[in-house]
Amino acid sequence: MRLNKTIYNQMVSHALEDAPNECCGYVSARDGEAVALHRVTNSAHSPLKYVMDPKEQLAVEYGEIYDKGLDVGAIYHSHTRSAPYPSQTDVNLATHPEAVYVIVGVKNPDKPVVRGYYIRKGQIEEIELTVI
């Protein structure tokens, strides 16, 4: 997936702002290129997991993405206490096989680490995120 620097920075900022709790949201895309970032409230308000607010999730997926002819390019969240690698919970929540799952690691807030994965049928495949 290709991310422009602005969207990349918005993801990192969201993760740092919500720490010590995890953040979450979407990146809409067209033809594999990120178009916009859409923050969603983590209704769990937890440093250990995220639960997208259902009303916001539907409003973003349908009102901001599908209804505008865009794709769910990425679903992102942060890890505040562990490496940016999908947990078993992350794998269980992965319901968009076409989307990139981006995890922003902010365990060390001075050096955030951003990684992307495809999660399909329980299998994790790390992919390169290209920041343009």
pTM: 0.96
Q: How confident is the model at residue 104 (pLDDT cuts 50, 70, 90)?
A: very high
Domains and CATH numbers, the chain: 2-131 (3.40.140.10)
Question: Which whole number is the average pLDDT over 32-44?
Answer: 96
pLDDT at 113 over 90: yes
- Give mean pLDDT, residues 57-86: 97
Whether residue 64 contacts residue 86, with contact meaning beta carbons closer than 8 Å, is answered with no
The whole-number pLDDT of residue 85 equals 98
pLDDT at 86: 98
Q: Which of 25, 60, 59 is nearest to 42 (CA)?
A: 25
Asked whether the beta carbons of 103 and 129 are under 8 A apart, the reply is no
The pLDDT value given to residue 2: 87
Place of tokens 């992102």: 76
